[in-house]
Each structure stands twice: as structure tokens, then as C-alpha cells.
Amino acid sequence: MQFDKKEYQRKFNEYIKDDRIVKSSQTYKIKLFLDKAENSLAIAEYHKNIKPNKDLPPKIHWNYWAITISYYSMLYSAKAAILSKGYEVKDHFAAQIALGHLFVPDEIEKEDLELLNQAHKIFEDEYIKYFEDARIESHAARYSAIKTYTEARVAEIFKNAREFILKIMKIL
């Protein structure tokens, strides 16, 4: 989905009405989600780097899980960020919509953050693309009978997950 701030706002409001996004004051979960994100990323890296011997499943199956776990690490950090704004999400697509609406600034907000020397708080729409890409690949890895991934593609998804999580940690 091409990023469109107004469309994300419209969907955000729609998802609130549908209870896919709900108000929450359970901020204690932020740290729990960030811990899950960091540890899941470490597990994804293990899967990405494993060199299976003949007694283990072939590398392709480890790659499926490296992609899936990388995505889930992003989802957990996204849930922490969304919760910091007073909301929780009920599904994966709602998480993407909430991130886009709550964190990607419009041009005026971006200029204000830059003027205040807080450019590190700018959550660019490229991070929404990282999330969407990982969500789609994770779905394919889980549900397709056969999908092969090059080592470069697995590494790209993992790198994007790491950047995504680091950005959210800087913002929070």
C-alpha cells in the first residue's frame, strides 16, 4: 500500500469504530513489547545465520522462520510505540495503519521536529514500507507451500527489522 497520510487517518478512524484499534492506558506493556522485540530479533538472527547439518531441516525452512520472526520483532516494537500513544491494536494490518497515522509526521510536523533538533523522532514512511514488506513476506513464508528466499532477501528483511526496532527505541 502506497503511503498516503490522509488514507491512513481515514482507516485509523474506521478501525477505531470497528474495535481493531482501541484506547489503552496499559503503558506497563511498552517495556514488555520492547523486550519481546529485541529477543525475537536475536532469535531471528540465529535462524538467519544457522548452517544446518544433515540432521537438521534444510536452510530454506530456517529462512522461513528468520523472516517470520523478524516480522514479529517489528510487530512487537510497533505495539510498544502505538501503546505509547494510548492505543492497542487487534491485528497486523491495524498495527500498520496505527503506525502510519500516529508516527509518520506531515510536512509541518517534520519541519517543527527538525527546527527543535529532534529529527531523530521523525518516523519516515519508509519504516511503514519495511513493516508492510515484512508482513507480506512473513505471511507468504507461513502459508505458501513453497517459496524460496535468497540469503540476500532474508538479510534485507532482517536488516530492515533491526533498523525499524532501533528507530522506535529512539522515538520512545
Q: What is the CATH number of the domain that holds 13?
A: 1.20.120.330
Lowest-pLDDT range, 26-30, 86-90, 95-99, 118-122? Answer: 118-122
Beta bridge partners of 22: 88
| pLDDT above 60 for 1 | no
User: CA–CA separation, 127 vs 57, rounded Å?
Assistant: 32
- Give me the pLDDT at residue 121, please: 64
Which of 40-44, 48-52, 117-121 shows the lowest mean pLDDT across its residues?
Answer: 117-121
pLDDT band at residue 106 under the 50/70/90 scheme: confident
Range of the domain at 81: 5-171
Total domain count, the chain:
1
Give the confidence band of 109 by pLDDT, cuts at 50, 70, 90: low
Q: Where are the alpha helices (DSSP H) in 28-150?
A: 29-49, 59-84, 92-103, 107-115, 125-143
